[in-house]
A and B are shown apart, each in its own frame.
Chain A
């Protein structure tokens, strides 16, 4: 696997009076409930002992309900919010020990962010908003405008360069936000619930836009969302947060297929499992004779596609990888997936 871009270890963020907040991580107080902690120390823990790596080129999704600490977490990565304890490294370089100039450099060139409420400057045109990041880096007017025009084109806003944010729809404004983040050509894109404020249809468009961008450029992305569907659709890996902790971190299939606890299980209960799980997880060892007959499926085939194949032939289908039969899926196994029953005796 590739090297981590962001590497986070035992990260804490405690809000409250600094002297008190600094003492919370690692102490007994950290185990109190939120209410009791606030009563005793006046502090609130937003991020609790969180560790994860974001690998180069992946889309890493942090998902959780509101108040789970996910937005605080992403702000800690570039120290928009100062973490209380723990380590953050970007490409092996310690973020927490950076001085102001280094930190500015990190924000200017290496990680740029897209915000839920866009954060556009209302008095500037679309083009000047997109060019803003280059402007504060000190780029010349002609150069930054040329680059900005290119980005505006890329996010599909060509022709609207002269408008002001107030004249655009929400989706268009977020495209401007995206173009602004892309204009500085950052190593990592950070998204903080970028599409939560948009209508469902436009949200779908924007998700596809992000998937396309990622596909074209392979840029590393950290994506915060409270929408499970969105997380499953665009995430390579998902970290699920609750009360400041990461309760499970894995691929969408791992999260849906083997929830770590009841909370996660509850969370993913309504997910159409046949559209997330693959036959690799659904198959059972082949009985005698089954290894040679029936349609052949790749291990990464979605269960929903396998259902179609099995329904058409009427018999079990083989899961074949490089000519070797790994196992079979039949009516029973596929229905069990759809029904959410535990799968016993899964093949390796």
Chain B
């Protein structure tokens, strides 16, 4: 058998040396080969497609109008929501359960009073994360009260508590299944990966379709958005558990259950807590965005204020969101890093005594609050910042918006950005023949990944066309491209500076820490204050949101370059620029590619949300669909967002090629 195989090989080599040489030349430059192949396919298909359907924007002959069927479906659901057994006995129960849970948490928080909640949160933070975070928590809750946002804060907290609890349970169960069964993992992973890259807006409409606008829809959208990280990290932790330890445990005769409970889960504690942390952050982010579908609370305040360009009120509600995010992130993150540390300090400060102390002080705080009959934050301690902020914004509008000598004003910049970059980009993209767009997408995805990623990307793009939202998707795409370009240019520059200078790094690290914990929605507030409404502010918010992650990933990649390689280059007399260009950047390539991918995904998420502040395009269609009850328009836009997200992720996803090889 072996000899015959060798003979065939030899025959093949003998008969076609020319073909082999060509093949080798092509495969030697793998990218070139792929491009040539694609060019051949294009040469056959494009003339046909162009003559049959014409060039330019997506041909009408190839679109399918879904608004009719979707509208019917949505009408059917609305008509039958109160009668059909599926709704009565399944979705109805879920909806009821969610309402009861959120209501219960909300009433509990109100019953504890502001004294009780503040004491409980600060003491919890102290136990889990130490004194500094505890003080941050104390100050944060106080600020929420002072800004007059106590009740909305409690509403958001209640919604989040219910959503996080459900997300953690769902995520942990999925993660457990995927962590223990290879088959489940393989089935689940692509789904989770994809969910991770989709903008939050894409999740809103399907939920609204079934549950209608209201708290249940908001909570469920949050659960769908926030559960994947928990599932991913649980699975990861269980699968990556030190193989040697598990083997040792087996060798001592542990049963499967003992192995899971005494070794696998404890070994995965760090990942589990990280998953919890990410789930909380995602849930907060979504709970705020879900104000569009009736979440209420802080997000709703921001949403209402932004829709009337009332920056002052938006800021008053936005600050508590940021503070909540910071407190929750620091607390859960500290829980993760503190694992395995020895308790220290006096005896009363750890163990059950400490927890008893926490309970006692909280009870005392609740009692004190009740005795003073002050359950919500006392009105006399409130400060209204909306008016002064608005007058400040007014001053800015009149003085900084335009006509500032030499540098021009912020509105001028936004205008110029729109005229000189966004508009040409958009008209360029719209003017490109549809098949050229598909080809470019396929080529990019194939160059960096496999034919499979190329196919996914091209098909996603085609689906956008078929859905009939080609031109507004091009509008969104133009904003994404502009924002990504700005993000990468700024991000790489700052990252190189941070990687080369300890001082720069120390300077920007706290800024990045705070920026990375802020929910997407909050970024809209300052850009509206600075630039007004429009497409440029949406792009600016996207840049601001994506920049921290890009800087961080790039700087980390540059700094983690093998010091031996760098030392070798230095010993050969390479200059600083040479080291950067010839050693650091090439070796940090995976990190750079990851930064691009993350940048694109994050930018898309915020560009879509930008629809709320005049960004238009797909995001606006979603908001419009929700506001007007025209779910068909919203759903089509949501589907297009999903496709756009998939396409952008695949076009920039470098890891799939290597991952494919590993498998």
Q: Which residues on B sit within 8 Å (CB–CB) of A104?
A: 253, 255
CB proximity to B under 8 Å, residues A96-143: 104-109, 112-113, 115-123, 132-133, 135-137
Residue of A nearest to B245 (CB): A119
Question: What residue in chain A is nearest B258 (Cβ atoms)?
Answer: A136
Q: Which of B247, B255, B267 contacts A122 (CB 8 A)?
A: B267
Tell me the nearest residue of chain B to A119, going by C-beta. B248
CB-CB under 8 A for A123 and B266, given A40-B1, A137-B253, A166-B340:
yes
CB distance from A225 to the nearest CB of B (A): 17
- Bound-state Cα–Cα, A36 to B253, Å: 37
Q: Which residues of B contact A106 (CB under 8 A)?
A: 253
Q: How far apart are A129's CB and chain B's nearest CB, in angstroms?
A: 10
- Measured CB to CB, the closest approach of chain B to A107, in angstroms, equals 4
Least distance between B290 CB and chain A CB atoms (Å): 37
- B253 near A107 with CB under 8 A, answer yes
In the assembled complex, which residues on chain B have CB atoms less than 8 Å from the CB atom of A108?
Answer: 252-253
Do the beta carbons of A121 and B263 come within 8 Å of each other?
Answer: yes
B251 contacts A123, CB within 8 Å?
no
Binary contact track B224-266/A, C-beta < 8 Å → 1, others 0: 0000000000000000001011011111111100100011001
A312 to B247, alpha carbons, bound, how many Å?
55
B244 — which chain A residues lie within 8 A by C-beta?
A: 115-119
- Set B248, B266, B339: member contacting A113, Cβ < 8 A: B248
> Range of interface residues on chain A?
20 to 34
Q: Do the beta carbons of A78 and B252 come within 8 Å of each other?
A: no
Q: Contact at A113–B262, with CB atoms within 8 Å?
A: no
Docked-complex contact A136 and B254, CB < 8 angstroms: yes
Is B251 touching A107 in the complex (CB atoms < 8 A)? yes
Complexed CA–CA distance, A115 and B342 (Å): 26
Contact A113 B2, beta carbon cutoff 8 Å:
no
User: Interface size bucket, B side?
Assistant: 20 to 34
- State the CA gap A116–B245 with chains docked (Å): 11
- Chain A residues in 8 Å Cβ range of B252: 107-108, 112, 132-133, 136, 180, 184
Q: How far, in whole Å, are A177 and B254 apart by their CA atoms in the complex?
A: 16
Q: Find the A residue at minimum CB distance from B266.
A: A123
Q: Which of A105, A116, A121 contacts B253 (CB 8 A)?
A: A105
Q: Are B340 and A164 in contact (CB under 8 A)?
A: yes
User: Chain A contacts of B242 at CB under 8 A?
Assistant: 119
What chain A residues lie within 8 Å of B340 (beta carbons)? 122-123, 164, 166
Q: Which residues of A contact B254 (CB under 8 A)?
A: 136
Interface: B127 (CB within 8 A): no
Please tell me if the beta carbons of B258 and A80 are within 8 angstroms of each other in the complex.
no
A121 & B245 in contact (Cβ 8 Å cutoff)? yes
Contact with B along A154-194 (1 / 0, CB 8 A): 00000000001010000000000100100010000000000
Residues of A with C-beta under 8 A to B266: 121, 123
Smallest CB gap from A190: residue in B: B251
- Do residues A80 and B269 form an inter-chain contact, with CB atoms below 8 A? no
A119 and B262 CA atoms in complex are apart in Å by 13
Chain B residues, CB < 8 A from A18: none
With a cutoff of 8 Å between Cβ atoms, the chain B residues found around residue A133 in the complex are 252-253
User: B262 contacts A112, CB within 8 Å?
Assistant: no
The answer to whether A115 and B253 have CB atoms under 8 Å apart is no
Q: Which residues of B contact A40 (CB under 8 A)?
A: 1-2
Residues of B within 8 A of A109 (CB): 253
CB contacts (< 8 Å) of B250 on chain A: these are: 80, 107
A135: nearest residue on chain B (CB-CB)?
B262
- Complex Cα distance A119/B263, Å? 11
**C-alpha gap A324/B263 in the complex (Å):** 62
Rounded to whole Å, the gap between the CB of A192 and the closest CB of chain B is: 9
Q: For B267, list chain A residues within 8 Å (CB).
A: 121-123
A-chain residues with CB within 8 Å of residue B251 when the two chains form the complex: 78, 80, 107, 112-113, 115, 119
| In the complex, residue of chain A having the shortest beta-carbon distance to the beta carbon of B341 | A164
Chain A residue at minimal CB-CB distance from B342 = A164
Q: Do residues B247 and A119 form an inter-chain contact, with CB atoms below 8 A? A: yes
CB within 8 Å for A123 and B269 given contacts A107-B250, A113-B248, A115-B247: yes
Task: Provide a sorted-by-A list of 18 A–B residue pairs whose CB atoms are within 8 angstroms.
Answer: A39-B2, A80-B250, A108-B253, A113-B248, A115-B251, A118-B244, A119-B244, A119-B249, A122-B245, A122-B340, A123-B267, A132-B252, A132-B262, A136-B249, A136-B252, A136-B253, A177-B248, A184-B252
**B residues with CB within 8 A of A:** 1-2, 242, 244-245, 247-255, 258, 262-263, 266-267, 269, 339-340, 342
Apart from the given pairs A105-B253, A113-B251, A135-B262, 15 other A-B contacts in the complex at a CB distance below 8 Å: A36-B2, A104-B255, A107-B250, A118-B244, A119-B242, A119-B251, A122-B245, A123-B339, A133-B252, A133-B253, A136-B252, A137-B253, A164-B340, A166-B340, A184-B252
Could you list which residues of chain A lie within 8 angstroms of chain B, going by C-beta atoms?
A: 36, 39-40, 78, 80, 104-109, 112-113, 115-123, 132-133, 135-137, 164, 166, 177, 180, 184
